Amino acid sequence: MKNLSWQKIVFFLFGLVWGLEWTNVFKPSLRSRLLYGVLRIFYRKQNSEDIQEQRGYLDKMQELVPAPLKVEPVEVNADGVPCEWVLPADSIPTQVVFYLHGGAYVTRMPLLHRTFLHILAKESKAQFLMVDYRLAPEFPFPAALADALTAYKWLLNQGWNPEQVLVAGDSAGGGLTTALMLALRDMELPMPAGAFLLSPWTDLTGSGESIISLAKEDFMLDWDNLQECARDYAGGESLEHPWVSPLFGDFHGIPDTLILAGGGEILLDDSVRLAERMKEDGVNVELLVEPHMGHVYPAYAAIPEAQKAIKIIADYVAKC
């Protein structure tokens, strides 16, 4: 009986804690603490000295995704630029999100991005076009931007009205998305209805104070590695060129933009300063910083913070 009493107490306490977790009492959530705790143990920061080794490591990470969670790609050739359609289930989308993936301009993780975009597609009832742009160091700037421009123009030529199109991206893809908007404006091409950016890398010079202040908290990103990737991507171009580091651009005429960032990532200031610069230039921009979260946290769809972010993104897409 004594053991049974202790069992009841343990089950009661477990149920109480779990119930409080599902009512979002804990800040940050217990699930996010568990996830980041596991990642902190097993995640290995990347060393850009060997790009092929880095790409191989990320390929192995993708292999860990269970088969039931894998989304089959719908490949398309966008005037020579390989892309993938990621479609919602059981709906006829009237909006399309033109998406540029992250990976520090030197890597790609299509399986993981595909899974994340499928979740976004279902929530937003929009279809996503993910662009497989060329990577550095084999193809430095402006190759990625040129591919983005080509694929964007191809999309419009398929009959999509710019008012139905949003542009989006995460990390380096978020920076590339911002550069794309600057290029579209400068080239007097049709602008999308809006944009959303997830932890965008907008300053390849690394002048943000958060690179130093949050270095110990951020176990995923390492500035030494990113600095090498920045050099590989820029090639012979200045890191301060606004199409390389869009933070240094002029944002007049840029469409409404939603920015989401984690409060515990070294690139936080890239988002904060971008939002400030956009506001100064008259852009309708909203910045949401989730405390304690890491780089591109909305992609971790199992945690409450990510689920809230996905709902915010879906509502934003529907509003545009």
By mean pLDDT, which of 68-72, 141-145, 151-155, 298-302 is the weakest?
68-72
Query: Phi, psi (5° rounding) for residue 136?
Result: -80, 160
CATH number of domain containing 178: 3.40.50.1820
Q: Examine the domain organization and report whether 120 and 31 are in the same domain.
A: no
pLDDT tens-digit readout, 272-288: 999 999 999 999 999 99
pLDDT band for position 103 (cuts 50, 70, 90):
very high
CB contact at 8 A, 126 and 88? yes
Q: Examine the domain organization and report whether 250 and 309 are in the same domain.
A: yes
How far CA 191 is from CA of 100, 126, 158, 297, 303, in Å, comes to 16, 18, 16, 28, 34
Q: Examine the domain organization and report whether 183 and 227 are in the same domain.
A: yes
Q: Examine the domain organization and report whether 30 and 175 are in the same domain.
A: no
Q: Examine the domain organization and report whether 2 and 136 are in the same domain.
A: no
Q: For residue 255, what are the domain limits?
A: 49-319
Q: Examine the domain organization and report whether 189 and 235 are in the same domain.
A: yes
- Residue 21: what pLDDT? 46
Q: How many domains are contained in the chain?
A: 2
pLDDT tens-digit readout, 213-248: 999 999 999 999 999 999 999 999 999 999 999 999
Q: Examine the domain organization and report whether 84 and 120 are in the same domain.
A: yes
* Three-class SS state of 121: helix
Q: Examine the domain organization and report whether 35 and 58 are in the same domain.
A: no
Q: Hey, what's the torsion of the CAs at 244, 250, 255, 256, to 10 degrees?
A: 100
Kindly tell me if the per-residue pLDDT of 55 is higher than 70. Answer: no
- Residues with a known catalytic role: 171, 265, 295
Q: What is the mean pLDDT of residues 298-306?
A: 93
Q: Examine the domain organization and report whether 86 and 177 are in the same domain.
A: yes
Q: Examine the domain organization and report whether 83 and 66 are in the same domain.
A: yes
Q: Examine the domain organization and report whether 10 and 69 are in the same domain.
A: no
Comparing 93 with 263, which gets the higher pLDDT? 263
